[in-house]
Structure 1
Amino acid sequence: MSEGRAMDRLAMLGGARAVPRGTAMPEWPVVTAADREAVNRVLDSGKFTAMASGEREIAGLEEAWAKRVGVRHCAAVANGTIAIQIALAAVGIGPGDEVVVPALSFVATGLAPVHLQATPVFADIDPATYNLSPAAFEAAITPRTRAVVPVHLHGLPAEMDAIREVAERHGIAVIEDAAQAHGVVYRGRHVGSLGSAATFSLNVSKNLPTCGEGGLVTTDDTALYERIAAMRQFGETLAKDGTRDYISRIMGWNAKINAIQAAFTRSQLERFDTEQMQRDQHVRTFLTRLAPLPGLVVPRALPDRGHAWHILRLRCDATALGRTPSSSGPLRAIVCRALRAEGVPVSRYQSMPLSEQPVFQGCPAGELPVTRAVIEDSFTLQKAHLNPAAGPVLERYADAFEKVWRHMDLLIRMAEGGAR
């Protein structure tokens, strides 16, 4: 066999990998000297919580993010999941209420209503954006519906104008789940300013991370903000000087972020725009190479909104290759196997609609044909592309995709049982 043919042979069949062994996946988050200095500043100050007199890291992060989003208020909390829970509780969600959520999302979107003894109602998604379908949202509304949580999945904003129009007609609160969409603009406005309140995650894996867990809740409603701020601190109303009377006036949690986490994120925020611009350039270049591959559906931004590219979800369309739709799932499985063998760290991520997870047994769900199809035929690339220096590695990954696609006839036969 010639060297050229050996190099082109699929790695899972004994050929050389397209991504050479030892090629490191770029780390995320990037931790700089400035980040370490920010953390050490807190350690040296001895002021670790919002209750510490004179603590400024938490308030500084809140002020910076509120200004960035274009709202009056931001409350920093312990994580992105409690952020959704507190936002829902602050708008009055409680036992017996229904909250419409997309059937394709991270589990936290559905868990937040459950923690309030409310019922998540799972609605189908749009086939192009993978976000909540406005039509499916409206079809899911009942007399008990009190809120909707549209998710800007993977960093692409949902159809917020249409969702808000439906919500306003039915008197339903809109809580944005923007955990994966930091800094993205939708029709001239930042996500985080498009509903009654919005929530962000600062988990270490997110585009805007902290050194562990954290979250943010944004709102333009002062009364709503005051409830959110109280709920994260046992339901107490804090004086402006930080003094406490230890009286819980409403239901609340201990859901505060600490000053070290806030300082780390404030430092990350200083270079967020630059890193996001570099990420956007590298991801678009990568997807431009993948887009011509027949039967591969790549994520795309829309003209009226940005994209954070937090996760890249790709779909295998068997019909574009002359096969039946039922072949898409098996094709996705064999393509993932081939790509991983070539050194591309793809994964399936979700394996079922949220409504089918055991924790949500008995919760209502509409017909979910789009959600089921997307889960069956799609796979994802996570974290590897977030580092702003990931361009060269993404070029290697694109080489691997092109190599795998040169063997598509063989992979189709394997997917359909014609080869082992």
Structure 2
Amino acid sequence: MSALAMFGGARAVPEQSIGQALVRWPVVTEDERSAVLRVLDSGKFTSNSMGLGEVQLLEREWAGYVGAPHCAALSNGTAAVALALAALGLQPGDEILVPALTFIGSIAGPVQRLIVPVFVDIDPRTFTMDPVAAEAAVTPRTRAVLAVHLHGLPCDMTALRELAERRHLLLVEDAAQAHGATYRGVRAGALGDAAAFSLNVTKNLPTCGEGGLVTTVSHEVHERMIRLRQFGEDLRPGRPRDYVSRVLAGNEKMSSVQAAFARSQLDRLPSYADARERNARRLFDRLGVLPGLVVPLVPEDRTHAWHILRIRFDPAAAGYPDVAPGPFRAALARVLQAEGVPVQPYQLVPLPGQRVFQTREGVGGGYPWSLPGVAEHDYRIEDHPVTMAVIEDSLTLQRWHLNPDSGPVLDLVADAFEKVWSHLDAVATIARSAPYTVPWAGSMAVAA
């Protein structure tokens, strides 16, 4: 096979092969353009427009797609998590279990509402919350479990539901990356007491900017969500606006332009998901036979939305027991990027290692941790060894594969991996000799 690109060989993924029609996300068609113009022509731009507008139609359609009785549209996914917990009745000082590997958006909103995060390690193959670790993390102040369906794969919801029922906890889904994924035949969004989705432009179901959705089985929770998203007012179609704030709340509503764009995307979500499944499976069928490369596990009782593709590397299994996983992953990143493969890390530090949790400055100089009765929390990343290992020995592929027509490009990506694997001796040499620091070395620095 030809020389590695970093040593003068031709790139396995030539730049000219990466046509935007194959990798652009989101895919914007005349349907989206017509939907946005429909809103502009209507003059109904917000969710408090009287009557059945774009926002209300998106709520109805998403609830029907998920199989949940109720849906509320919000400004973004972070607000969706925070307001879902507020509508479920969590109070300042309550604790919530959160996986140590997730985006900080999963917990930023709850912390701003003075809910205390307790971090839980993950399963090494599914990358979702480990139910056994979750059980060990429960305290008398724990009120909820935030089940993050990371990368698009649902958590072990049977085990987490059993834990929640036995310990009298709420079970909330963070399904920001799991649009359309299923667990035992039920779609994400209908598996817990409530579920939060992001509609950020990068997500599998995107808006033309930001957006969020909360689904729930509870009529009462839904009613509270409607009030919480705009100043505590009761804004529903068919009722005149009275400007009465029934609860103290901010402004977290979605615009009609975003809703119209997302509704158009929703029409194609099933066909896009099918194409993504085919493309991801074909890619992993090829990568999975390479020694020392560990592809994602999808248990038989669930389906994957494939929002992010994470691959782990085991240098010992690849034939290099003297090479540590971190340097091996770092060397592979350099070599694969030179071949034109856009691999990158996703999260450089376990979530408890983020500076905000190390300093615990929080809201107003120390809240929620300064609240009376809140236990001392020493957020040590060493308490989450699986999360640390996954961050150190894995890389992700993002965005290209979201396009349903990306199959030919992903075939070239597979060619690149196979090419690199034919030169693993060179990769191992780089890993042994190049300077290396752990990914979280700079991220955890605490300002003086």
Q: TM-score, normalised by structure 1?
A: 0.95
Paired position in structure 2 for 1:149: 146
SS in 1 for 2:341: coil
Paired position in structure 2 for 1:250: 247
1:394-409 to 2 correspondence within 5 Å?
A: 394-409=410-425
CA distance, structure 2, for counterparts of residue 114 and residue 406 of structure 1: 48
Q: Is the 8 A contact 2:14 2:340 kept in 1?
A: yes
Paired position in structure 1 for 2:308: 311
Aligned pair 1:16/2:10, yes or no? yes
CA distance, structure 1, for counterparts of residue 171 and residue 325 of structure 2: 35
Per-residue deviation, 1:95:
1.5
Paired position in structure 1 for 2:407: 391
Deviates more, 1:153-162 or 1:297-306: 297-306
CA distance, structure 1, for counterparts of residue 250 and residue 45 of structure 2: 18
CA distance, structure 2, for counterparts of residue 374 and residue 157 of structure 1: 18
Deviates more, 1:34-43 or 1:91-100: 91-100
Aligned pair 1:375/2:369, yes or no? no
Amino acid of the structure 1 residue aligned with 2:190 = S
Paired position in structure 1 for 2:444: none
SS in 2 for 1:314: strand
CA distance, structure 2, for counterparts of residue 21 and residue 228 of structure 1: 47
SS in 2 for 1:120: strand
Cα root mean square deviation, aligned = 1.7
Per-residue deviation, 1:364:
4.7
Paired position in structure 2 for 1:299: 296
Within the candidate set 348, 351, 362, 1:351 is matched to 348
Question: CA, structure 1 residues 418+266, in 2 after alignment: closer, same or farther (shift >3 Å)?
Answer: closer
Per-residue deviation, 1:242:
4.1
Q: Unpaired runs of 5+ in structure 1?
A: none
Per-residue deviation, 1:199:
0.6
Paired position in structure 1 for 2:59: 62
CA distance, structure 2, for counterparts of residue 364 and residue 394 of structure 1: 43
Deviates more, 1:59-68 or 1:229-238: 229-238
Aligned pair 1:340/2:337, yes or no? yes
Q: Is the 8 A contact 2:353 2:379 kept in 1?
A: no
Per-residue deviation, 1:193:
0.7
C-alpha distance after superposition, 1:200-254 (max 9, x if no partner): 1100000111100001000010001101111001112235424222222223220
Paired position in structure 1 for 2:40: 43
CA distance, structure 1, for counterparts of residue 237 and residue 282 of structure 2: 49
Amino acid of the structure 2 residue aligned with 1:127 = P
Paired position in structure 2 for 1:204: 201
Amino acid of the structure 2 residue aligned with 1:394 = L
CA distance, structure 1, for counterparts of residue 236 and residue 153 of structure 2: 38
CA distance, structure 2, for counterparts of residue 141 and residue 63 of structure 1: 36
C-alpha distance after superposition, 1:68-116 (max 9, x if no partner): 1111100000000000000011112221111110000011112122111
SS in 2 for 1:206: coil
Runs of 4+ in 1 over 6 A off after TM superposition: none
Aligned pair 1:320/2:317, yes or no? yes
Per-residue deviation, 1:184:
1.1
Amino acid of the structure 2 residue aligned with 1:212 = G
Per-residue deviation, 1:326:
6.6
Amino acid of the structure 1 residue aligned with 2:9 = G
Alignment length (residue pairs): 414
Q: Unpaired runs of 5+ in structure 2?
A: 361-376, 436-448
Q: Is the 8 A contact 1:185 1:305 kept in 2?
A: yes
Q: Is the 8 A contact 1:100 1:122 kept in 2?
A: yes
Q: Is the 8 A contact 2:346 2:396 kept in 1?
A: yes
Identity %: 55
CA distance, structure 2, for counterparts of residue 327 and residue 186 of structure 1: 36
Paired position in structure 1 for 2:212: 215
Paired position in structure 1 for 2:190: 193
CA distance, structure 1, for counterparts of residue 77 and residue 175 of structure 2: 9
1:67-146 to 2 correspondence within 5 Å?
A: 67-146=64-143
Question: CA, structure 1 residues 226+402, in 2 after alignment: closer, same or farther (shift >3 Å)?
Answer: same
Per-residue deviation, 1:325:
8.4
Per-residue deviation, 1:418:
8.5
Per-residue deviation, 1:360:
1.5
Amino acid of the structure 1 residue aligned with 2:48 = M
Amino acid of the structure 1 residue aligned with 2:293 = L
Amino acid of the structure 1 residue aligned with 2:81 = I
SS in 2 for 1:60: helix
SS in 1 for 2:316: helix
Amino acid of the structure 2 residue aligned with 1:93 = L
Amino acid of the structure 2 residue aligned with 1:264 = F
